[in-house]
Structure 1
Amino acid sequence: MSQAPLPFVFHPGTAPLLISMPHAGTHLPADIAARLTPEAREVHDTDWHMPQLYACAQALGASLLVATHSRYVIDLNRAPDGASLYPGQSVTGLCPVDSFASTTLYASVAQELAQQPLQATFTAGGLPMSVRTSNCGAWGWAAAGHQGYGYTRSDPLSGRPWPAMPTFLQQQAQALAAQAGYPGFDPDVCLINAYAVGAKMGLHHDADERDKTAPIVSVSLGLPCHFVWGGLQRSDPVRSLRLEHGDVLVWGGASRMVFHGVRPLPAGQHHLLGAERWNLTFRMAQRPYRG
């Protein structure tokens, strides 16, 4: 088995000149490549010809610092504080999740929605809710109107089992829970809520899980929203938290049964999700929590 290359190769020279090529690498570790979209695996944002362009530099005594990994793995052209080196220009993160063309690099959620499209949801009284939902994992949460709310092994509409939760998503949820002080979190459901502009979620608490000592891990994607955080009673005062793309909330313990919701989504455009917000909620529906 061949060993993965170091993130960069340094070629020392003799002259006081250093040439950096942070985006010349094309290597994708297998575990990362498996999670990328087919387009992302073609590493379009590579500076393909930089090594050839500066091939004469070493003969002139220059030192060369050349990336081996694709910039989709890690972008070596970053300021220590994360600030943009090119104000006004399109930039991506240290470990990018989108390309310069604002296309998503990772396929996990998109692949799940291709298998299990978003569906309309209904209250127990049969009224339509403003969010659309999907699920992945051993269980899925369904709001099927008069049939009630709860976890099922399969989609009540199609009868098909929910698609498996991608390993990447499960591992991220486990790592986030551990960082928040909840080791041993092992989600068996990821509920995907999609909010269009104006969609909202009324005050509620997550009460259908078997073991309420397990935390809830919530990941926000797309447009920012105003998340409402209340108390253990629906009538308790609430406060509003602004959540943006990539923000994560983890709650458990004494706060596990706190009422929460989402105010109507303000209009806007996100470079990945357009005029939508997606919320990924990881839960332990039926597994006992042994954290």
Structure 2
Amino acid sequence: MSHAKHSAILLISCPDKKGLVAAIANFLMTYNASIMHADQHQDDSEQLFLMRVEWSLDGFTLPMDDFAAAFQPIAAEHQMTWSVSLSSRKPRMAIMVSHYEHCLADLLHRWRIGELSCDIPLIVANHEDCRALAEFNGIPFHLIPVSKENKAEAEAAAWRLFDEAGVDLIVLARYMQVLSPAFVGRYRSRIINIHHSFLPAFDGAKPYHRAFARGVKLIGATSHYVTEVLDDGPIIEQEVTRISHRDDVDDLIQKGRDLEKVVLSRAVRWHLDYRILSYGNKTVIFD
């Protein structure tokens, strides 16, 4: 379900205690908010409260430019980490890709039909394979070859492009390069990757080959936020499919492609709809 076109979304995490829901609701009601949707979660092991609340801006009497100053006393009182976003503003999403185009093609299709509420100002690739697909969709395609010798320069070139385009989110649609800690640090919790296995099993390279060698009966795909540790970031979405002894590596790869594109598109959509809160090495996905 996509959010309304004229609403605001507040994401909150803070130490759990009584009265938090009432404090947030009362604040919003002070300014005549019509709450459209609210969802919350308590993590008992972490003693943490997490919440997403969305309200209509029709009739809301607090100008959103003044929201931060008005809400800050409550946030400080309850030690809240929070962010507020407007549904009217489309995030700007860059896509990075290498050889394989199935995830890119799926994202672009969903974007074209309006399923993904974002702007896509550019696609960055380290190979030419996906140029025609990008150009067919009218999106600028930037080739930045990567080698061991030029990795730092290549990442710096990508930074410049992303900064110039005002990018909010980076999606790795089977971009087969390990990003440096410096790169990840610039876009913390703003890089989503698709890994072609059911993590934490078979992280790293050639997971389908290793799954075949292990004789597994299920293969999976995992979408996660990128951190400095390879394939270890907070998991957003996962899916599996059953295989058998009759399937060879090519069969696993073919079946895995369907998982990869669906899992990635779900994760991206939830991020764009402000439905994810990441804490520690976990995520909460709000309804």
Question: Could you state the TM-score of these two structures normalised by the residue count of structure 1?
Answer: 0.29
Query: More helix by proportion, 1 or 2?
Result: 2
Q: Work out which of the two has the higher radius of gyration on C-alpha atoms and give 1 or 2.
A: 1
